[in-house]
Structure 1
Protein backbone atom coordinates (compact mmCIF):
# COMPACT_ATOMS: atom_id res chain seq x y z
CA UNK A 1 0.00 0.00 0.00
CA UNK A 2 2.84 2.37 0.84
CA UNK A 3 4.52 1.80 -2.55
CA UNK A 4 1.25 2.49 -4.39
CA UNK A 5 0.80 5.74 -2.48
CA UNK A 6 4.38 6.72 -3.24
CA UNK A 7 3.85 6.02 -6.95
CA UNK A 8 0.78 8.25 -7.02
CA UNK A 9 2.70 10.96 -5.17
CA UNK A 10 5.59 10.85 -7.65
CA UNK A 11 3.37 10.75 -10.75
CA UNK A 12 1.37 13.71 -9.48
CA UNK A 13 4.46 15.93 -9.48
CA UNK A 14 6.11 14.47 -12.59
CA UNK A 15 3.50 14.91 -15.36
CA UNK A 16 6.22 15.24 -18.02
CA UNK A 17 7.78 11.91 -17.10
CA UNK A 18 5.01 9.59 -18.29
CA UNK A 19 7.29 7.80 -20.78
CA UNK A 20 9.91 7.19 -18.11
CA UNK A 21 7.25 5.99 -15.66
CA UNK A 22 5.92 3.49 -18.23
CA UNK A 23 9.46 2.20 -18.83
CA UNK A 24 9.92 1.74 -15.09
CA UNK A 25 6.60 -0.11 -14.79
CA UNK A 26 7.54 -2.37 -17.72
CA UNK A 27 10.90 -3.05 -16.06
CA UNK A 28 9.17 -3.97 -12.80
CA UNK A 29 6.92 -6.44 -14.61
CA UNK A 30 9.94 -7.99 -16.35
CA UNK A 31 11.82 -8.26 -13.08
CA UNK A 32 8.89 -9.95 -11.36
CA UNK A 33 8.46 -12.43 -14.21
CA UNK A 34 12.15 -13.35 -14.29
CA UNK A 35 12.24 -13.42 -10.49
CA UNK A 36 9.36 -15.89 -10.38
CA UNK A 37 11.14 -18.13 -12.89
CA UNK A 38 14.30 -18.10 -10.72
CA UNK A 39 12.29 -18.93 -7.60
CA UNK A 40 10.45 -21.81 -9.30
CA UNK A 41 13.70 -23.31 -10.62
CA UNK A 42 15.47 -22.98 -7.27
CA UNK A 43 12.53 -24.48 -5.36
CA UNK A 44 12.50 -27.43 -7.76
CA UNK A 45 16.25 -27.91 -7.23
CA UNK A 46 15.82 -27.86 -3.45
CA UNK A 47 13.04 -30.44 -3.59
CA UNK A 48 15.17 -32.64 -5.86
CA UNK A 49 18.09 -32.26 -3.41
CA UNK A 50 20.38 -31.01 -6.16
CA UNK A 51 23.59 -29.14 -5.37
CA UNK A 52 22.95 -25.39 -5.30
CA UNK A 53 24.57 -22.17 -4.08
CA UNK A 54 23.96 -21.18 -0.45
CA UNK A 55 22.84 -17.68 -1.41
CA UNK A 56 20.00 -15.49 -0.16
CA UNK A 57 17.37 -17.06 -2.42
CA UNK A 58 18.16 -20.55 -1.12
CA UNK A 59 17.92 -19.33 2.48
CA UNK A 60 14.58 -17.59 1.82
CA UNK A 61 13.09 -20.72 0.25
CA UNK A 62 14.41 -23.07 2.95
CA UNK A 63 12.96 -20.79 5.61
CA UNK A 64 9.64 -20.67 3.78
CA UNK A 65 9.53 -24.47 3.64
CA UNK A 66 9.33 -24.49 7.46
CA UNK A 67 6.21 -22.29 7.47
CA UNK A 68 2.73 -23.79 7.63
CA UNK A 69 1.44 -21.64 4.76
CA UNK A 70 3.34 -20.59 1.66
CA UNK A 71 3.25 -16.96 0.51
CA UNK A 72 4.78 -16.84 -2.97
CA UNK A 73 4.08 -13.13 -3.44
CA UNK A 74 5.92 -12.29 -0.23
CA UNK A 75 8.89 -14.44 -1.26
CA UNK A 76 9.00 -12.72 -4.65
CA UNK A 77 8.81 -9.29 -3.02
CA UNK A 78 11.68 -10.09 -0.65
CA UNK A 79 13.83 -11.62 -3.39
CA UNK A 80 13.39 -8.58 -5.66
CA UNK A 81 14.05 -6.24 -2.74
CA UNK A 82 17.42 -7.89 -2.09
CA UNK A 83 18.19 -7.99 -5.81
CA UNK A 84 17.34 -4.35 -6.57
CA UNK A 85 18.26 -2.62 -3.32
CA UNK A 86 21.33 -4.65 -2.44
CA UNK A 87 23.67 -3.91 -5.33
CA UNK A 88 23.96 -0.24 -6.24
CA UNK A 89 23.50 0.98 -2.67
CA UNK A 90 26.36 -1.09 -1.26
CA UNK A 91 28.57 -0.24 -4.24
CA UNK A 92 27.97 3.47 -3.66
CA UNK A 93 28.64 3.10 0.06
CA UNK A 94 31.99 1.47 -0.67
CA UNK A 95 32.86 4.18 -3.21
CA UNK A 96 32.18 6.92 -0.68
CA UNK A 97 34.15 5.05 1.98
CA UNK A 98 37.20 4.71 -0.28
CA UNK A 99 36.88 8.41 -1.13
CA UNK A 100 36.68 9.47 2.52
CA UNK A 101 39.57 7.24 3.62
CA UNK A 102 41.73 8.56 0.80
CA UNK A 103 41.04 12.10 2.00
CA UNK A 104 42.02 11.14 5.57
CA UNK A 105 45.22 9.04 5.46
CA UNK A 106 45.51 8.96 9.27
CA UNK A 107 42.11 7.24 9.49
CA UNK A 108 43.01 4.87 6.66
CA UNK A 109 46.24 3.94 8.44
CA UNK A 110 44.34 3.18 11.65
CA UNK A 111 41.69 1.02 10.00
CA UNK A 112 44.30 -0.83 7.92
CA UNK A 113 46.22 -1.60 11.11
CA UNK A 114 43.07 -3.14 12.58
CA UNK A 115 42.46 -5.22 9.46
CA UNK A 116 46.08 -6.42 9.46
CA UNK A 117 45.83 -7.39 13.13
CA UNK A 118 42.56 -9.29 12.74
CA UNK A 119 43.03 -10.87 9.32
CA UNK A 120 46.77 -10.92 8.73
CA UNK A 121 47.30 -12.76 5.45
CA UNK A 122 44.15 -14.90 5.73
CA UNK A 123 42.46 -15.50 2.41
CA UNK A 124 38.95 -16.04 3.78
CA UNK A 125 37.14 -13.91 6.33
CA UNK A 126 35.27 -15.87 8.98
CA UNK A 127 32.12 -14.70 10.72
CA UNK A 128 33.98 -14.31 14.02
CA UNK A 129 36.43 -11.91 12.34
CA UNK A 130 33.68 -9.42 11.54
CA UNK A 131 32.93 -8.75 15.20
CA UNK A 132 36.59 -7.92 15.83
CA UNK A 133 36.70 -5.25 13.10
CA UNK A 134 35.17 -2.60 15.35
CA UNK A 135 36.90 0.47 13.94
CA UNK A 136 36.01 -0.61 10.41
CA UNK A 137 32.37 -0.68 11.52
CA UNK A 138 32.75 2.88 12.78
CA UNK A 139 34.29 3.96 9.47
CA UNK A 140 31.42 2.45 7.48
CA UNK A 141 28.81 4.06 9.75
CA UNK A 142 30.46 7.47 9.48
CA UNK A 143 30.56 7.08 5.71
CA UNK A 144 26.80 6.44 5.68
CA UNK A 145 26.19 9.44 7.92
CA UNK A 146 27.82 11.84 5.46
CA UNK A 147 26.90 9.95 2.31
CA UNK A 148 23.78 7.82 2.91
CA UNK A 149 23.26 5.58 -0.16
CA UNK A 150 19.53 6.24 0.17
CA UNK A 151 19.36 9.96 1.06
CA UNK A 152 15.68 10.09 1.96
CA UNK A 153 12.59 8.00 2.64
CA UNK A 154 8.86 8.60 2.32
CA UNK A 155 6.30 7.72 4.97
CA UNK A 156 2.53 8.05 5.18
CA UNK A 157 0.70 9.06 8.35
CA UNK A 158 -2.01 6.60 9.29
CA UNK A 159 -3.46 9.02 11.83
CA UNK A 160 -3.17 12.66 12.82
CA UNK A 161 -0.09 13.48 14.86
CA UNK A 162 1.69 16.51 16.31
CA UNK A 163 5.48 16.99 16.12
CA UNK A 164 6.99 19.95 18.01
CA UNK A 165 3.71 21.81 17.86
CA UNK A 166 3.11 21.18 14.16
CA UNK A 167 -0.13 19.33 13.38
CA UNK A 168 0.21 16.73 10.66
CA UNK A 169 -3.14 15.44 9.35
CA UNK A 170 -3.82 11.77 8.71
CA UNK A 171 -3.13 10.47 5.19
CA UNK A 172 -0.21 12.88 4.72
CA UNK A 173 2.91 11.92 2.76
CA UNK A 174 6.11 12.88 4.60
CA UNK A 175 9.69 12.95 3.36
CA UNK A 176 12.54 12.29 5.81
CA UNK A 177 16.07 13.25 4.72
CA UNK A 178 18.85 11.13 6.18
CA UNK A 179 21.29 13.25 4.19
CA UNK A 180 20.17 16.52 5.81
CA UNK A 181 19.89 15.17 9.36
CA UNK A 182 23.33 13.58 9.18
CA UNK A 183 24.81 17.01 8.43
CA UNK A 184 22.98 19.05 11.07
CA UNK A 185 25.01 20.56 13.90
CA UNK A 186 21.97 20.10 16.10
CA UNK A 187 22.68 16.36 16.11
CA UNK A 188 26.39 16.04 15.29
CA UNK A 189 29.29 18.21 16.42
CA UNK A 190 31.33 19.52 13.48
CA UNK A 191 29.00 17.58 11.16
CA UNK A 192 30.93 17.99 7.90
CA UNK A 193 34.11 16.40 9.24
CA UNK A 194 34.73 12.68 8.71
CA UNK A 195 35.18 11.28 12.22
CA UNK A 196 34.53 7.55 12.82
CA UNK A 197 35.00 8.05 16.58
CA UNK A 198 31.43 9.41 16.64
CA UNK A 199 30.38 5.77 16.63
CA UNK A 200 32.86 4.55 19.23
CA UNK A 201 31.77 2.38 22.14
CA UNK A 202 31.60 5.26 24.63
CA UNK A 203 30.31 7.93 22.23
CA UNK A 204 26.72 9.20 22.68
CA UNK A 205 24.28 7.29 20.48
CA UNK A 206 22.57 9.40 17.78
CA UNK A 207 19.06 8.02 18.30
CA UNK A 208 16.50 9.02 15.64
CA UNK A 209 18.98 11.30 13.86
CA UNK A 210 21.03 8.55 12.20
CA UNK A 211 18.95 6.04 10.26
CA UNK A 212 20.57 5.02 6.94
CA UNK A 213 18.34 1.93 6.83
CA UNK A 214 15.21 3.71 8.09
CA UNK A 215 13.58 2.93 11.45
CA UNK A 216 10.79 0.84 12.92
CA UNK A 217 8.95 -2.18 11.51
CA UNK A 218 9.37 -0.93 7.93
CA UNK A 219 13.13 -0.49 8.11
CA UNK A 220 15.33 -2.06 5.43
CA UNK A 221 14.87 -5.83 5.38
CA UNK A 222 18.46 -6.31 4.20
CA UNK A 223 20.31 -4.04 6.59
CA UNK A 224 22.15 -6.80 8.48
CA UNK A 225 23.21 -8.49 5.26
CA UNK A 226 24.21 -5.15 3.68
CA UNK A 227 26.40 -4.20 6.64
CA UNK A 228 28.12 -7.59 6.66
CA UNK A 229 28.62 -7.49 2.89
CA UNK A 230 30.15 -4.00 2.99
CA UNK A 231 32.39 -4.99 5.89
CA UNK A 232 33.72 -8.09 4.13
CA UNK A 233 34.43 -6.29 0.86
CA UNK A 234 36.01 -3.27 2.56
CA UNK A 235 38.17 -5.48 4.77
CA UNK A 236 39.51 -7.37 1.75
CA UNK A 237 40.23 -4.11 -0.08
CA UNK A 238 42.09 -2.70 2.92
CA UNK A 239 43.97 -5.96 3.35
CA UNK A 240 45.31 -5.90 -0.20
CA UNK A 241 45.42 -2.29 -1.38
CA UNK A 242 46.30 1.24 -0.41
CA UNK A 243 44.16 4.05 -1.82
CA UNK A 244 45.28 7.32 -3.32
CA UNK A 245 42.93 9.68 -5.17
CA UNK A 246 43.74 11.03 -8.62
CA UNK A 247 44.14 14.84 -8.31
CA UNK A 248 41.46 17.19 -9.62
CA UNK A 249 38.31 15.30 -8.64
CA UNK A 250 35.15 17.33 -8.07
CA UNK A 251 33.73 15.31 -5.13
CA UNK A 252 30.27 16.40 -6.30
CA UNK A 253 27.25 14.25 -5.48
CA UNK A 254 24.44 12.95 -7.67
CA UNK A 255 21.04 12.03 -6.25
CA UNK A 256 18.93 9.82 -8.51
CA UNK A 257 16.98 8.18 -5.71
CA UNK A 258 20.27 6.75 -4.53
CA UNK A 259 23.31 8.89 -3.72
CA UNK A 260 26.50 8.40 -5.69
CA UNK A 261 29.68 10.31 -6.58
CA UNK A 262 28.85 12.40 -9.67
CA UNK A 263 32.14 11.62 -11.43
CA UNK A 264 32.87 8.34 -9.71
CA UNK A 265 35.92 7.84 -7.51
CA UNK A 266 39.32 7.63 -9.21
Structure 2
Protein backbone atom coordinates (compact mmCIF):
# COMPACT_ATOMS: atom_id res chain seq x y z
CA UNK A 1 0.00 0.00 0.00
CA UNK A 2 2.87 2.40 0.77
CA UNK A 3 4.43 1.77 -2.65
CA UNK A 4 1.07 2.39 -4.33
CA UNK A 5 0.56 5.62 -2.36
CA UNK A 6 3.98 6.90 -3.39
CA UNK A 7 3.31 6.46 -7.13
CA UNK A 8 -0.45 7.14 -7.34
CA UNK A 9 -1.84 10.44 -6.20
CA UNK A 10 -5.46 9.32 -6.53
CA UNK A 11 -6.99 5.85 -6.43
CA UNK A 12 -10.66 4.89 -6.72
CA UNK A 13 -11.52 1.37 -5.64
CA UNK A 14 -14.95 -0.09 -6.34
CA UNK A 15 -16.75 3.28 -6.21
CA UNK A 16 -20.55 2.91 -6.18
CA UNK A 17 -22.70 6.06 -6.19
CA UNK A 18 -26.49 6.30 -6.05
CA UNK A 19 -29.03 9.13 -6.18
CA UNK A 20 -32.41 9.25 -4.49
CA UNK A 21 -35.11 10.30 -6.98
CA UNK A 22 -38.92 10.39 -6.93
CA UNK A 23 -38.82 7.15 -8.93
CA UNK A 24 -36.57 5.49 -6.36
CA UNK A 25 -32.85 4.98 -5.94
CA UNK A 26 -30.79 4.95 -9.12
CA UNK A 27 -27.18 3.90 -9.57
CA UNK A 28 -25.09 6.52 -11.38
CA UNK A 29 -21.64 4.96 -10.84
CA UNK A 30 -21.18 1.22 -10.47
CA UNK A 31 -17.98 -0.36 -9.16
CA UNK A 32 -15.59 2.15 -10.78
CA UNK A 33 -11.88 1.73 -10.08
CA UNK A 34 -9.11 3.90 -11.49
CA UNK A 35 -5.71 5.26 -10.55
CA UNK A 36 -3.96 8.51 -11.35
CA UNK A 37 -0.15 8.57 -11.07
CA UNK A 38 1.54 11.68 -9.72
CA UNK A 39 2.11 14.26 -12.44
CA UNK A 40 -0.03 12.40 -14.98
CA UNK A 41 -3.13 13.36 -16.94
CA UNK A 42 -5.75 10.61 -17.04
CA UNK A 43 -8.85 10.79 -19.23
CA UNK A 44 -12.37 9.71 -18.32
CA UNK A 45 -14.52 9.51 -21.44
CA UNK A 46 -18.02 8.50 -22.43
CA UNK A 47 -21.31 9.96 -23.61
CA UNK A 48 -23.40 12.38 -21.57
CA UNK A 49 -25.08 10.72 -18.60
CA UNK A 50 -22.61 7.87 -18.24
CA UNK A 51 -21.42 8.96 -14.78
CA UNK A 52 -18.22 10.89 -15.53
CA UNK A 53 -19.15 14.06 -13.67
CA UNK A 54 -20.57 12.06 -10.77
CA UNK A 55 -17.14 10.47 -10.33
CA UNK A 56 -15.56 13.93 -10.02
CA UNK A 57 -18.27 15.17 -7.66
CA UNK A 58 -17.76 12.09 -5.48
CA UNK A 59 -14.04 12.88 -5.28
CA UNK A 60 -14.87 16.43 -4.19
CA UNK A 61 -17.69 15.12 -1.96
CA UNK A 62 -20.10 17.48 -3.69
CA UNK A 63 -22.86 14.94 -4.38
CA UNK A 64 -25.53 16.96 -2.60
CA UNK A 65 -28.26 15.74 -0.31
CA UNK A 66 -29.64 13.19 -2.79
CA UNK A 67 -26.32 11.60 -3.77
CA UNK A 68 -24.53 8.98 -1.72
CA UNK A 69 -21.41 6.82 -2.00
CA UNK A 70 -22.75 3.38 -1.15
CA UNK A 71 -19.44 1.58 -1.13
CA UNK A 72 -15.85 1.84 -2.29
CA UNK A 73 -12.85 3.99 -1.44
CA UNK A 74 -11.43 7.29 -2.74
CA UNK A 75 -7.80 7.54 -1.68
CA UNK A 76 -5.90 10.77 -2.18
CA UNK A 77 -2.26 10.85 -1.09
CA UNK A 78 -2.94 7.68 0.89
CA UNK A 79 -5.94 8.94 2.88
CA UNK A 80 -9.52 7.88 2.24
CA UNK A 81 -11.50 11.04 1.47
CA UNK A 82 -14.73 9.34 2.50
CA UNK A 83 -13.44 9.14 6.07
CA UNK A 84 -12.63 12.86 6.38
CA UNK A 85 -14.85 15.23 8.34
CA UNK A 86 -16.63 18.09 6.51
CA UNK A 87 -14.12 20.52 8.03
CA UNK A 88 -11.18 18.45 6.78
CA UNK A 89 -12.70 18.34 3.28
CA UNK A 90 -13.16 22.12 3.24
CA UNK A 91 -9.48 22.53 4.07
CA UNK A 92 -8.51 20.12 1.30
CA UNK A 93 -10.71 21.58 -1.47
CA UNK A 94 -8.91 24.29 -3.38
CA UNK A 95 -5.67 23.81 -1.48
CA UNK A 96 -4.98 20.23 -2.61
CA UNK A 97 -7.81 19.29 -4.99
CA UNK A 98 -9.56 21.77 -7.26
CA UNK A 99 -12.22 21.40 -9.94
CA UNK A 100 -12.87 23.26 -13.20
CA UNK A 101 -16.51 23.01 -14.24
CA UNK A 102 -18.09 22.67 -17.67
CA UNK A 103 -19.92 26.00 -17.54
CA UNK A 104 -17.43 28.68 -16.44
CA UNK A 105 -20.12 31.35 -16.18
CA UNK A 106 -22.01 29.30 -13.59
CA UNK A 107 -18.85 28.98 -11.47
CA UNK A 108 -18.43 32.76 -11.17
CA UNK A 109 -20.45 35.12 -8.97
CA UNK A 110 -22.26 37.56 -11.29
CA UNK A 111 -22.45 40.28 -8.61
CA UNK A 112 -18.70 40.48 -7.85
CA UNK A 113 -15.80 41.65 -9.97
CA UNK A 114 -13.28 39.08 -11.13
CA UNK A 115 -10.58 40.64 -8.94
CA UNK A 116 -12.72 40.41 -5.81
CA UNK A 117 -13.55 36.76 -6.45
CA UNK A 118 -9.96 35.74 -7.13
CA UNK A 119 -8.63 37.56 -4.06
CA UNK A 120 -11.26 35.90 -1.85
CA UNK A 121 -10.26 32.45 -3.13
CA UNK A 122 -6.56 33.10 -2.60
CA UNK A 123 -6.93 34.51 0.92
CA UNK A 124 -9.17 31.59 1.92
CA UNK A 125 -6.27 29.20 1.38
CA UNK A 126 -3.18 31.37 1.84
CA UNK A 127 -3.28 34.25 4.34
CA UNK A 128 -1.89 37.32 2.55
CA UNK A 129 -2.17 41.06 2.74
CA UNK A 130 -4.44 42.78 0.24
CA UNK A 131 -1.48 44.02 -1.81
CA UNK A 132 0.19 40.60 -1.83
CA UNK A 133 -3.07 38.97 -2.91
CA UNK A 134 -3.53 41.53 -5.70
CA UNK A 135 -0.04 40.87 -7.08
CA UNK A 136 -0.50 37.10 -6.93
CA UNK A 137 -3.90 37.24 -8.64
CA UNK A 138 -2.61 39.49 -11.44
CA UNK A 139 0.33 37.14 -12.06
CA UNK A 140 -1.96 34.10 -12.18
CA UNK A 141 -4.11 35.76 -14.84
CA UNK A 142 -0.98 36.34 -16.89
CA UNK A 143 0.00 32.69 -16.30
CA UNK A 144 -3.24 31.56 -17.97
CA UNK A 145 -2.46 33.80 -20.96
CA UNK A 146 -4.87 36.65 -20.29
CA UNK A 147 -3.94 40.14 -21.42
CA UNK A 148 -5.26 43.52 -20.29
CA UNK A 149 -5.25 42.15 -16.75
CA UNK A 150 -6.32 45.40 -15.05
CA UNK A 151 -9.47 45.58 -17.16
CA UNK A 152 -10.32 41.94 -16.47
CA UNK A 153 -9.84 42.34 -12.71
CA UNK A 154 -12.32 45.22 -12.70
CA UNK A 155 -14.85 43.43 -14.92
CA UNK A 156 -17.90 41.38 -14.01
CA UNK A 157 -18.31 37.87 -15.47
CA UNK A 158 -20.97 38.89 -18.01
CA UNK A 159 -18.57 41.43 -19.51
CA UNK A 160 -16.12 38.70 -20.56
CA UNK A 161 -16.15 36.08 -23.31
CA UNK A 162 -16.59 32.37 -22.66
CA UNK A 163 -12.92 31.73 -23.33
CA UNK A 164 -11.87 34.46 -20.89
CA UNK A 165 -14.26 33.09 -18.26
CA UNK A 166 -12.80 29.60 -18.63
CA UNK A 167 -9.24 30.88 -18.24
CA UNK A 168 -10.31 32.78 -15.11
CA UNK A 169 -11.91 29.64 -13.65
CA UNK A 170 -8.69 27.72 -14.35
CA UNK A 171 -6.69 30.53 -12.69
CA UNK A 172 -9.04 30.38 -9.70
CA UNK A 173 -8.49 26.63 -9.40
CA UNK A 174 -4.71 27.06 -9.53
CA UNK A 175 -4.46 29.83 -6.91
CA UNK A 176 -4.33 27.34 -4.04
CA UNK A 177 -1.55 25.41 -5.85
CA UNK A 178 -3.43 22.08 -5.78
CA UNK A 179 -1.67 18.85 -6.63
CA UNK A 180 -4.80 17.48 -8.35
CA UNK A 181 -7.01 19.27 -10.88
CA UNK A 182 -10.36 17.80 -11.94
CA UNK A 183 -11.33 19.14 -15.37
CA UNK A 184 -14.98 18.53 -16.23
CA UNK A 185 -15.51 19.10 -19.97
CA UNK A 186 -13.34 22.26 -19.92
CA UNK A 187 -13.75 22.99 -23.65
CA UNK A 188 -17.32 21.86 -24.38
CA UNK A 189 -18.97 25.29 -24.28
CA UNK A 190 -16.25 26.94 -26.42
CA UNK A 191 -15.78 27.26 -30.15
CA UNK A 192 -13.06 25.20 -31.84
CA UNK A 193 -10.33 27.86 -31.92
CA UNK A 194 -10.78 28.92 -28.29
CA UNK A 195 -11.03 25.26 -27.21
CA UNK A 196 -7.67 24.57 -28.86
CA UNK A 197 -6.17 27.43 -26.85
CA UNK A 198 -7.57 26.03 -23.59
CA UNK A 199 -6.18 22.58 -24.44
CA UNK A 200 -2.75 24.10 -25.07
CA UNK A 201 -3.01 25.98 -21.76
CA UNK A 202 -3.84 22.76 -19.88
CA UNK A 203 -0.75 21.10 -21.33
CA UNK A 204 1.39 24.09 -20.34
CA UNK A 205 0.03 23.99 -16.78
CA UNK A 206 1.12 20.36 -16.47
CA UNK A 207 4.62 21.15 -17.70
CA UNK A 208 5.02 24.28 -15.61
CA UNK A 209 3.38 23.31 -12.31
CA UNK A 210 3.52 19.51 -12.39
CA UNK A 211 -0.20 19.34 -11.65
CA UNK A 212 -1.88 15.93 -11.85
CA UNK A 213 -5.15 15.97 -13.80
CA UNK A 214 -8.31 13.95 -14.26
CA UNK A 215 -9.64 15.12 -17.64
CA UNK A 216 -13.35 14.37 -18.12
CA UNK A 217 -14.67 14.65 -21.66
CA UNK A 218 -16.71 13.16 -24.47
CA UNK A 219 -14.27 14.72 -26.96
CA UNK A 220 -11.93 11.86 -27.83
CA UNK A 221 -9.69 14.11 -29.90
CA UNK A 222 -8.90 16.35 -26.92
CA UNK A 223 -8.27 13.32 -24.73
CA UNK A 224 -5.82 11.94 -27.28
CA UNK A 225 -3.92 15.23 -27.12
CA UNK A 226 -3.51 15.57 -23.36
CA UNK A 227 -3.93 12.19 -21.63
CA UNK A 228 -1.46 9.31 -21.28
CA UNK A 229 -4.08 6.92 -19.96
CA UNK A 230 -7.83 6.71 -20.50
CA UNK A 231 -10.86 5.07 -18.89
CA UNK A 232 -13.98 4.57 -21.03
CA UNK A 233 -17.32 4.68 -19.20
CA UNK A 234 -20.69 3.39 -20.31
CA UNK A 235 -23.88 3.35 -18.21
CA UNK A 236 -22.00 4.04 -14.98
CA UNK A 237 -19.27 1.44 -15.47
CA UNK A 238 -15.72 1.44 -16.80
CA UNK A 239 -15.77 -0.85 -19.83
CA UNK A 240 -12.19 -0.39 -21.01
CA UNK A 241 -8.99 1.26 -19.80
CA UNK A 242 -5.33 1.46 -20.61
CA UNK A 243 -2.71 3.68 -22.25
CA UNK A 244 -4.49 6.15 -24.52
CA UNK A 245 -2.61 5.15 -27.67
CA UNK A 246 -3.37 1.47 -27.07
CA UNK A 247 -7.06 1.91 -26.20
CA UNK A 248 -7.76 4.23 -29.13
CA UNK A 249 -5.39 2.45 -31.52
CA UNK A 250 -6.61 -1.10 -30.80
CA UNK A 251 -9.91 -0.88 -28.90
CA UNK A 252 -11.20 -4.15 -27.52
CA UNK A 253 -14.66 -3.22 -26.24
CA UNK A 254 -17.38 -2.72 -28.90
CA UNK A 255 -18.50 0.52 -27.23
CA UNK A 256 -15.00 2.01 -27.53
CA UNK A 257 -14.87 0.91 -31.16
CA UNK A 258 -18.26 2.53 -31.75
CA UNK A 259 -17.11 5.84 -30.26
CA UNK A 260 -14.04 5.91 -32.47
CA UNK A 261 -15.99 4.96 -35.61
CA UNK A 262 -18.37 7.86 -34.95
CA UNK A 263 -15.55 10.41 -35.11
CA UNK A 264 -15.56 12.64 -38.23
CA UNK A 265 -12.48 12.32 -40.44
CA UNK A 266 -10.90 15.38 -42.06
CA UNK A 267 -11.75 15.50 -45.75
CA UNK A 268 -14.36 12.75 -45.54
CA UNK A 269 -17.48 13.22 -47.69
CA UNK A 270 -20.83 12.75 -45.98
CA UNK A 271 -22.10 10.50 -48.78
CA UNK A 272 -19.07 8.28 -49.35
CA UNK A 273 -17.86 8.17 -45.71
CA UNK A 274 -20.89 8.88 -43.49
CA UNK A 275 -20.58 8.89 -39.72
CA UNK A 276 -21.35 5.50 -38.19
CA UNK A 277 -23.81 5.85 -35.33
CA UNK A 278 -24.29 3.16 -32.71
CA UNK A 279 -27.82 1.75 -32.71
CA UNK A 280 -29.96 1.69 -29.57
CA UNK A 281 -29.93 3.69 -26.35
CA UNK A 282 -28.06 3.26 -23.04
CA UNK A 283 -30.06 1.22 -20.52
CA UNK A 284 -31.96 2.95 -17.74
CA UNK A 285 -30.27 3.47 -14.38
CA UNK A 286 -32.74 1.17 -12.66
CA UNK A 287 -32.96 -1.74 -12.34
CA UNK A 288 -29.31 -2.74 -12.57
CA UNK A 289 -28.67 -5.39 -15.20
CA UNK A 290 -26.19 -8.23 -14.64
CA UNK A 291 -23.10 -8.38 -16.83
CA UNK A 292 -22.06 -5.79 -19.41
CA UNK A 293 -24.67 -3.05 -19.83
CA UNK A 294 -23.66 -2.54 -23.47
CA UNK A 295 -24.73 -6.09 -24.30
CA UNK A 296 -28.22 -5.49 -22.89
The answer to whether TM tops 0.5 is no
TM-score, normalised to structure 2, is: 0.24
TM-score, normalised to structure 1, is: 0.26
Which one has a bigger Cα radius of gyration? Answer: 1
Higher helix share: 1
